[in-house]
Chain A
Amino acid sequence: MPYTKPLPRPDALAAPFWAAARQSRLLLQHCPACGDMRFPPSPVCPNCLADGQDWIEASGQGTLESWIDMHRAYWDGYKDDLPYRVCLVRLREGPLLVSNLVDRTDDLRLGLPVKVVFDAVTEDVTLPKFTLA
């Protein structure tokens, strides 16, 4: 079965993130000058404007900051998955990530600890997702 959901668009800046995800590692872009961290990556540090941004491996641990259940398929590839769950996670390192919470339970609350899991959706693309820790 071909994968019919949207895939990351080719993006030189974010290429290290996706390469690491294929190896089950979660990276954050990092500023060697001031320590700021983020995803999506930026061509300069938004905090200090330094060039030369690098990447560091994140712990993969964070907290649940919100979640929703999508009942409409804006892409045909989601039609059979409705409703599917999207979450907002605050990583222990600070940045916010939008992702999917793989758990189906409705027993959720803000601040629950979550941890990253890796879903190899195609040969080339692995999506970092989250599960209750």
Chain B
Amino acid sequence: MVHLHELKNKVAVIGVGNTRYGNFPETDDYGLAAQAFRAAVDDCGIDKNRIDGLLVSRIPYYARMGEILGLNPRWTITLPAHGRMSGMGVIEAAAAIAAGLCNYAVLLYANIGRSRRVNYGGDEAPGTWDPWGFTSPGAAHALAFRRHMELYGTTTRQLAEVSVAIRYHAGLNPDAVMRTPITIEDHENARFITAPLRLLDYCLINDGAVCLILTSRDRAKDFKKPPVLISGFGGQDTYSPSSIANFDIDFWHPALSAAGRQAYEMAGVTHTDVDALMCYDNFSPTVLFSLEGLGFCGRGESGGFVADGALRLGNRLPVNTDGGHLSNAYMQGWALNVEAVRQLRGDCGARQVPDCEVVQYVQATPCTRSIIYTRG
């Protein structure tokens, strides 16, 4: 049996790619994924016929995807549309490579929610509590954030710091969808979607696709860009209450603590080593929950932690330097993993974290995952 820690630095990301982000009714998920795939192949210079592993998420049919890309892998896996699958997908692919199930894995994600007018609530997503009008992931996060406000005195002005810092980063990213700077006042004056959450607490809905190519560390030396190592990862699921979807009464604190601890121990790093945090920000409160769960601050202290622009580049802890889901693109964690790679390569231009050596990805979701990437 392989002990998890033996997988430290055994697998690397060698290629990343993405489409533009926006509204593309003229194409579909396969077309967008093909663009992202071509970009990732160009990024690392791999002969695509060497790719022998295929992982797809939010793409209808893996075999059609393989047909379109001219791939006949020996390892294939399909993950559902949920954003939480991004962290899970990277970990599954790393384990598959380490086990020899494939040598070169391509991970593909596509979303056509904007052009197809997806609402993420109502009859699109039937749930137990529909008869009471409780629907949408945003409502679940509002329910959690209200508890946080009541338990710890966290304010919406503190929550605004998350959206403002991440929008600032989007302004440094020429590819981000929403780049106009916002202020705390803008946040406070935005319309409610589900009080206490407002429009600027909600992620974007846009089309786009993302691709990562992974291989073993030994094979990773032969490509155009320096490899980025997967140094640590951890996971913890929380399936009760799944009927109250996207909600945990403890803000996923136990799961985040467990997943973070596994990842830190495996990578041999601590919080103080983390140069940037890529944090699944489908709704701004998840950033607060993640900071507490990972131990960047104590329970209930995240409101104070994020004050005065702490999450901005150059300050205490740069979070979501590409603009995240809130302002770059709703690529459900996949683009955040790509941003981790680009930061460690030093490819990020105006938004580059200086001397970036350790980047952590985290998703505070019913499937909580964290991944620590380091320079190869």
Give the B-binding residues of A (Cβ under 8 A): 5-9, 40, 46, 65-72, 74-75, 78, 81, 83-84, 86, 88, 96, 98-100, 109-110, 125, 127, 129
Q: Kindly state the separation between the CA atoms of A65 and B150 in the bound complex, as whole angstroms.
A: 9
Q: B194 contacts A68, CB within 8 Å?
A: yes
A71 to B131, CA, bound (A): 16
**In the complex, A72→B181 CA distance in Å?**
25
Besides A46-B240, A68-B142, A100-B133, 10 other A-B contacts (C-beta < 8 A): A5-B133, A66-B150, A69-B195, A70-B133, A70-B139, A72-B136, A75-B123, A86-B139, A86-B143, A96-B244
B132 touches A96 (CB 8 A): no
15 contacts between A and B (CB under 8 A): A5-B131, A9-B126, A40-B243, A65-B147, A68-B143, A72-B136, A74-B121, A75-B122, A75-B135, A81-B133, A86-B134, A96-B249, A98-B129, A109-B150, A127-B132
Contacts of B151 in A (CB 8 A): 110
Contacts of B276 in A (CB 8 A): none
- Chain A residues near B194: list those with CB within 8 A: 68-72
Q: Which residue of B lies closest to A70 (CB)?
A: B194
B189 interface residue, CB < 8 Å from A?
no
Complex interface: chain A residues within 8 A of B123 (CB) = 6, 75
Query: How many positions in chain B have a CB within 8 Å of any CB in the partner chain?
Result: 33
Cα–Cα distance between A71 and B94 once the two chains are bound (Å): 42
Residues of A within 8 A of B136 (CB): 72, 74
Q: Which of B133, B136, B146, B244 has its CB near the most chain A CB atoms (within 10 A)?
A: B133
CB pair A72 B146 closer than 8 Å: no
Nearest-neighbor residue (CB-CB) of B121 within chain A: A74
Q: A71-B194, A75-B122, A110-B151 are in contact. Are A99 and B143 (CB under 8 A)?
A: no
Task: Indicate whether B100 reaches chain A with its CB closer than 8 angstroms.
Answer: no
Q: Smallest CB–CB gap between B232 and chain A, Å?
A: 32
Q: Contact: B195 with A86, CB < 8 Å? A: no
- In the complex, chain B residues whose CB is within 8 Å of the CB of A68: 139, 142-143, 146, 194-196
Enumerate chain B residues within 8 angstroms of A127, measured Cβ to Cβ: 131-132
Closest CB in chain B relative to A20 CB, distance in Å: 15
* Complex contacts, A88 vs chain B, CB 8 Å: 143, 147, 244, 249
CB distance from A123 to the nearest CB of B (A): 15
Name the residue of chain B whose CB is nearest to the CB of A86: B134
Q: Is B238 an interface residue (CB 8 A)?
A: no
Partner of A8, one of B131, B147, B196: B131
Chain B positions within 8 Å of A69 at CB level: 192, 194-195
What are the 9 A-B residue pairs with the smallest beta carbon separation, nearest first? A74-B122, A74-B121, A6-B130, A69-B195, A71-B192, A98-B129, A110-B150, A68-B142, A66-B147
- C-alpha gap A87/B322 in the complex (Å): 35
Interface string of B323-340 (1 = CB under 8 A from A): 000000000000000000
A5 to B192, alpha carbons, bound, how many Å?
A: 21
Give the residues in chain A near B139, CB-CB below 8 Å: 68, 70, 86
